[in-house]
């Protein structure tokens, strides 16, 4: 049995503290263009998507004057709402016709049944499969990128949008992550909610080699979650401030580098105000 353990890790934690990790602003969009997802290539060059553009960008994070360069602009789309590396240096991308008012995609622009495709993830051991989250339906679709076959793999009320009047935006599962710490068997079963978040808005996250989760936390923080021996989690603000900061202004996702020992300790964070920030997770922890 395999667990889909890519739901947002947000628990009632045993302790709460503040950590400090060195940061470097790698790139700032001159227009403040919202950046959404990162895929890190084997060379550690970044692939970047945006919810306000159908263009896939690349950036070399170690370049002296890093620039966001066009890779490809997808036709019949105005937003890219997910990216996942399903084979080495081969990527699945969700290209959407997104309505900014309704926060829904044009019917059939990504997956025939989908209302808001929002995030892609791979399936360990199955290189032809990716999972696509739907934030309106509260579902995860399984997509076979070789055959084009699509099916609803998981749909659960725990993954659906919250009740009317709740915190905006009114969406559920987001990037295959939720506002709770949950898990679900890939071969069936209900979503098991393991914990609920503290106040705040949480988005995408990345796991490091030690099993710690680094969570983009709006409006301006990166939160580190470390599992303790008693099974609870320690929560620390690793970068920024949960109430808002210019160091991370609207963080959206995070991904670790891949090229060499040092790069695997560098966490790249995108923001909705056009920032790409590098966080050195190797030390400096207060």
User: Distances from the Cα of 91 to the Cαs of 128, 236, 266, in angstroms?
Assistant: 11, 32, 21
How would CATH label the architecture of 3-280? 6 Propeller (2.120)
Predicted local confidence at residue 183, as pLDDT: 61
Give the pLDDT mean for 193-204: 60
Mean pLDDT of 88-111: 90
* Two structure tokens written together for 278: 């590098």
* Overall average pLDDT of the 130-142 stretch: 91
According to the model, what pLDDT value does residue 154 have?
A: 85
Q: In which band, very low, low, confident or very high, does the pLDDT at 21 lie, cut at 50, 70 and 90?
A: very high
Report the chain's mean pLDDT, rounded to a whole number: 82
Q: Is residue 212 very low, low, confident or very high in pLDDT (cuts 50, 70, 90)?
A: confident
pLDDT for 156 beyond 60: yes
* Cα separation, 103 vs 32, whole angstroms: 20
Helix (H, G, I), strand (E, B) or coil at 264: helix
Q: What confidence tens digit (pLDDT) does each residue in 225-267 have?
A: 888 888 777 778 899 887 777 789 999 999 999 988 888 999 9
Contacts of 200 (CB under 8 A, 6+ apart): 217, 218, 221, 242
Structure confidence at residue 7 as a pLDDT band (50, 70, 90): very low
For 224, the 3-state DSSP assignment is: strand
**What pLDDT sits at residue 11?**
32
H or E stretch covering 274? none
Q: Average pLDDT in the 104-116 region?
A: 88
- Per-residue pLDDT averaged across 178-189, rounded? 60
Residue 25 — pLDDT band, cuts 50, 70, 90?
A: very high
* Max intra-chain CA distance, the chain: 51
Buried b (16+ CB within 10 A) or exposed e, 124-154: eeeeebbbbbbbbbbbbbbbebeeeebeebb
Domains in the chain: boundaries: 3-280
Task: Output the pLDDT for position 30.
Answer: 93
């Amino acid at each position: 049995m395999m667990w889909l353990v890519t739901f947002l890790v947000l628990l009632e934690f045993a302790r709460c503290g503040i950590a400090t990790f060195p940061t470097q602003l790698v790139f700032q969009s001159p227009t403040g263009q919202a950046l959404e997802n990162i895929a890190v290539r084997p060379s550690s060059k970044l692939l970047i998507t945006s919810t306000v553009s159908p263009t896939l960008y690349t950036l070399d994070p170690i370049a002296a004057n890093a620039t966001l360069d066009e890779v490809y602009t997808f036709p019949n789309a105005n937003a890219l709402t997910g990216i996942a590396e399903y084979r080495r240096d081969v990527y699945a991308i969700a290209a959407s016709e997104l309505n900014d008012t309704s926060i829904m995609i044009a019917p059939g622009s990504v997956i025939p049944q989908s209302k808001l495709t929002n995030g892609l993830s791979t399936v360990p051991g199955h290189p032809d499969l990716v999972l696509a989250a739907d934030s309106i339906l509260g579902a995860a679709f399984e997509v076979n990128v070789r055959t084009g076959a699509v099916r609803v793999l998981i749909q659960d009320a725990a993954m659906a949008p919250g009740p009317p009047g709740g915190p905006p935006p009114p969406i559920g599962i987001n990037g295959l992550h939720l506002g709770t710490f949950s898990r679900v068997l890939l071969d069936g079963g209900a979503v098991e909610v393991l914990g609920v978040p503290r106040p705040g808005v949480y988005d995408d996250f990345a796991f490091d080699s030690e099993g710690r989760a680094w969570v983009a936390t709006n409006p301006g923080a990166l939160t580190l979650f470390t599992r303790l021996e008693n099974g609870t989690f320690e929560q620390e603000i690793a970068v920024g401030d949960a109430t808002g900061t210019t160091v991370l202004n609207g963080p959206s996702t995070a991904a670790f580098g891949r090229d060499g020992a040092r790069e695997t300790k560098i966490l790249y964070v995108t923001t909705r105000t056009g920032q790409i920030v590098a966080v050195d997770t190797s030390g400096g922890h207060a």
